[in-house]
Amino acid sequence: MKKKSQHPTRREFLKNAAGAGLVLAGSAATSWANNHPHPSPQSLAYLDRRMYIRNMEIIAHILPGHDRGGKMQMMSAGNQRYIFQQDDVFDVSDPRKPKMHNQHGFLGYQVQLAYNKNLKKWILMTGAGAPITSSTPAAPNGKYDDPKLLDAWRNFKGLRGVRFWDATDPSKIVKLSEFSTGATGSGTHRNYYDGGRYAYLDTAPDDSFIHQISYFRPLVNGNMIVDVSDPSNPKEVSMWWVPGSRKGEEAAYEKWQWSQLKYDHKDQTPFVGLHGPVYVPRKIEDGGNRGYGGWGCFGLIIHDLSDPKNPKVVGQFEPPPQYGAGGIPFHTIWCGMLDRGFVIGNGETTNPDCNQIYLPIWVIDVRDEKHPVPVAQFPRPVPPPEAPYRDFCFKRGRFGAHNPPHLKAPGKISPNFIAYSYFDAGLRCYDIADPYRPEEVAYFIPPQGGDFKEPGSWNRTVDNVLIEWDRNVMYVASDTGIYVLSCPNLGKPVLDPMPVAEWSLDKLNEGAP
């Protein structure tokens, strides 16, 4: 007997997904704010310092007890491998014995690192931004309660933009330049650089980008393309933003579905604009012409970059309006499944204690790139049976996905495996052999860090993950250190030093020693 197809139509899928989202939204507690606790009667009255692990093994633990949340990037030199994170460099050539290689060797947390074959150098790009407009106990709705909170952004005197460094010798990193995206703008948040001619910056270049509805940001970011063929002298190529973002674009702004909705609580207002970055899986100079960006409430936008001076929109998937009730509905786009015709998009929960709708991880069919179609959502994580809460909403902190493994990494990306950092739900691992039915296969939840007396210090238990696809090793950035992990579904780990034979993207780090 022929098995009936389980693949829903786009209409059926969105209808079912919307219903599930509304049920979860209804479980939220009384509204508070971004870093302000708002426990329900079922919430823990303490932080969970226990560790939970399923179908994974710990290989090593870097800087136990230290808050090491932040993006991670990797470079190689022969058998040596180095992770750049926060402002430090770690030697992980032997993942069983990681060691500090260069402490405070550079400035900037938003790291991007790649080998430039023309310069024969590893180039590091780090981000620099003005303060965001968060909440305080006296102003739980951020800028809506206290407009003076915007003063920290307006009066910021530091760099708003990016810095470029020569990281060829990771023990002696040399600054090449500083590039300002605009003296009155946001600076940059999440960027992308692949070692080629162009870098892609998540930024608002000036204070005219005022139509940010979210309470915790002052401006609406767009995508700036910068020519970095000479990293010591970067030059702006173009700037693209969603029409309606700027002062003077009110007619377009009023057409946004998000601008017309009424929000009972200002700390559940939608995040609009690029959260970044726009990922360009194939360099433009190598024939690539597509970029994939997570644009908050505007969802996935596919960009035509054939002419970097004049980017265009190819297609878009904009999530249903109920997903705009707080948080960042589309935060990161995972392009590791493009050869199969899919991308994965995840949001970011920004309030603790489930004070927002649960933001799912979407699998999106982009084979018809003018009409991207959602085909599945990842299963919602469930706490371990031995945990003292029945739902992660009752564990203190944010509950939701944050980052997949970075697109740039050693080895060929597995077609069957992916992992996501999930804040207070730890690291979640999935089998994606069937993109229509993602299945959770493993998890790791480290002890929760922070101080219960300091709201905001305990919100982001697991923040980031990096995978060495050739050695089957995972690095998990958390608020209690960096954990080195393995999982049988990824493959047996290779723990001896070895050179990188290939990288995750075509011609990435080509010519690296």
155-199 residue pLDDT tens: 999 999 999 999 999 999 999 999 999 999 999 999 999 999 999
1 has a pLDDT exceeding 70: no
pLDDT of residue 38: 83
The pTM of the full predicted model, rounded to 2 decimals, is: 0.93
22-49 residue pLDDT tens: 333 323 322 333 667 889 999 999 999 9
396 - beta bridge partners? none
Structure tokens at 510: 């080509």
pLDDT of residue 12: 53
512 has a pLDDT exceeding 60: yes
233 has a pLDDT exceeding 70: yes
Burial, 487: exposed, middle or buried (Cβ in 10 Å; 0-12, 13-18, 19+)? buried
Where does 10-486 sit in CATH, by number? 2.130.10.10
6 has a pLDDT exceeding 60: no
DSSP conformation letters of 462-484: EEEEEEETTTTEEEEEEBTEEEE
Give the integer Cα–Cα distance in Å for 250 and 209: 11
Cα 412 to Cα 6, 55, 224, 290, 507: the distances in Å are 30, 22, 29, 20, 12
Instruction: For 33-160, list the strands marked E by DSSP.
Output: 52-54, 57-62, 72-77, 80-85, 88-91, 99-102, 111-116, 121-128
pLDDT, mean over the chain: 92
355-388 residue pLDDT tens: 888 999 999 999 999 999 999 999 999 999 999 9
User: Region 306-331: what's the mean pLDDT?
Assistant: 93
